[in-house]
């Protein structure tokens, strides 16, 4: 029994879920008097724990690689090899963003990387199979539960189960808070986003720090998923100086523009650059402090709110938009992000 399958077996045995001996019963047993009462919240909890267990080998491999890089970094530093030290530091920084550096790679670093990539490929292949199998089992159990609730006349509960099934298919969060609040996406780890145009993201304690690589003007991190209206985007973000830039489709909002002017530069989400507005006195936020930003992209209007103040709005047909959400620094600014979430209002 491989390691991933062993984890799946142990967690199933411990929780009694997703097996013929636990919560996942044969669909033919649905409605049987002997079938124990199954709660949706319990199933979701079992599923979240199971995913953590299935991902553990991959998580451990990533931790081992970072540890090996740390040891190599200390080794080349003790040898006084500055060029190799910088290469390892760049590798560690890039690895956190799932990006491997191309310049300055030396034999010992290349060997470590090759070992990691070979092991990662082996684990990932098995992991994909195990997750697909677990997802199918979980979906089947939810379908049974939906039928049971429908037959019992508990239509509201049946609809909740149906929503969880749809979220599972769309790979959206399944926690109770997410379902109740309409949460579509939440930023919790650097590997959830795509860093573009020289933007670097690093997690420091409970914050994400964004900066630009030397010589780069402006870039951003983008959600891995694309979203269609209606949606609501929420940030809690601070800049050390200038630029906070937020994007979605053709939408661009710039707070603390590098030119120093106090106008808010903002673009209509559908029309983009051709519909840039400059709204005087609405483009400044204090540096070094966190600010609450809320952007609504509805099917027929958009709005931009900073610290509970409406700073811009517009109307149009946004129903056909589908794009990732982005945020980034520019021209020397550094951002700290405490919150980055996308909701269905």
Residues with Cβ within 8 Å of residue 37, at least 6 apart in sequence:
none
pLDDT given at position 1: 42
pLDDT given at position 15: 34
pLDDT given at position 177: 67
pLDDT given at position 99: 57
pLDDT given at position 330: 96
Q: What is the pLDDT along the chain (345 residues), one digit of tens a residue?
A: 444 443 333 333 333 333 333 334 444 444 444 456 778 888 888 888 888 899 899 889 988 998 999 999 999 999 999 999 999 998 887 775 455 667 788 999 999 999 998 998 899 889 888 988 999 999 999 999 999 999 999 988 898 898 888 878 766 677 666 676 788 899 998 989 999 999 999 998 889 999 999 989 999 999 988 999 999 999 999 999 999 999 999 999 999 999 988 999 999 998 888 788 999 999 999 999 999 999 999 999 999 999 999 999 999 999 999 999 999 999 999 999 999 999 988
pLDDT given at position 2: 44
pLDDT given at position 27: 43
Q: Does residue 207 contact residue 338 with C-beta atoms inside 8 Å?
A: yes
Strands 220-223 and 193-196, by their bridges, are antiparallel
Residues with Cβ within 8 Å of residue 36, at least 6 apart in sequence:
none
Strands 199-204 and 207-212, by their bridges, are antiparallel
pLDDT given at position 12: 36
> What CA–CA distance (Å, rounded) separates 264 from 276?
10
Strands 199-204 and 301-306, by their bridges, are unpaired
- For the CA atoms of the chain, what is the radius of gyration? 24
DSSP string, 147-191: HHHHHTT-HHHHHHHHHHHHHHHTT---SHHHHHHTEEEE--SGG
Cβ-count burial of 266 within 10 angstroms (0-12 exposed, 13-18 middle, 19+ buried)?
buried
Domain ranges of the chain: 3-181, 190-343
Name the superfamily (CATH) of residues 190-343.
Exo-inulinase; domain 1 (2.60.120.560)
Quick one: tokens of 156?
Answer: 């509201």
């Amino acid at each position: 029994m491989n390691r991933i399958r062993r984890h799946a077996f142990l967690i199933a045995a411990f929780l009694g879920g997703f097996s013929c001996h636990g919560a996942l019963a044969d669909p033919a047993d649905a409605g049987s008097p002997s079938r124990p009462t199954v709660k949706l919240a319990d199933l979701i909890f079992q599923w979240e724990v199971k995913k953590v267990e299935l991902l553990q080998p991959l998580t451990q491999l990533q931790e081992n690689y970072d540890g090996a890089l740390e040891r190599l970094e200390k080794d080349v530093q003790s040898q006084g090899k500055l060029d190799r030290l910088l290469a390892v530091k760049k590798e560690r920084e890039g690895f956190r963003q799932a990006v491997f550096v191309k310049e300055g790679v030396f034999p010992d670093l290349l060997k470590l990387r090759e070992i990691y990539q070979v092991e990662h490929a082996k684990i990932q292949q098995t992991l994909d199979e195990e997750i697909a199998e677990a997802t199918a089992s979980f979906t089947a159990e939810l379908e049974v539960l939906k039928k049971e609730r429908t037959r019992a006349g508990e239509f509201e509960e049946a609809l909740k189960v149906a929503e969880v099934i749809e979220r599972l298919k769309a790979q959206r969060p399944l926690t109770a808070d997410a379902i109740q609040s309409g949460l579509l996406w939440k930023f919790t780890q650097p590997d959830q986003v795509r860093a573009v145009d020289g933007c670097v993201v690093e997690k420091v304690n409970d914050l994400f720090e964004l900066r630009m690589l030397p010589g780069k003007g402006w870039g951003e991190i983008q959600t891995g998923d694309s979203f269609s209206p209606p949606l609501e985007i929420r940030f809690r973000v601070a800049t050390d100086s200038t630029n906070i830039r937020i994007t979605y489709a053709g939408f661009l909002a710039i707070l603390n523009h590098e030119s120093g002017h106090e106008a808010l530069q903002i673009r209509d989400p559908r029309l983009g650059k051709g519909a840039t507005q400059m709204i005087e006195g609405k483009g400044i936020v204090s540096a070094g402090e966190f600010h609450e930003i809320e952007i609504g992209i509805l099917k027929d209007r958009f709005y931009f709110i900073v610290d509970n103040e409406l700073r811009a709005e517009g109307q149009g047909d946004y129903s056909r938009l589908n794009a990732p959400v982005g945020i980034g620094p520019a021209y020397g600014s550094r951002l700290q992000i405490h919150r980055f979430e996308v909701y269905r209002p």
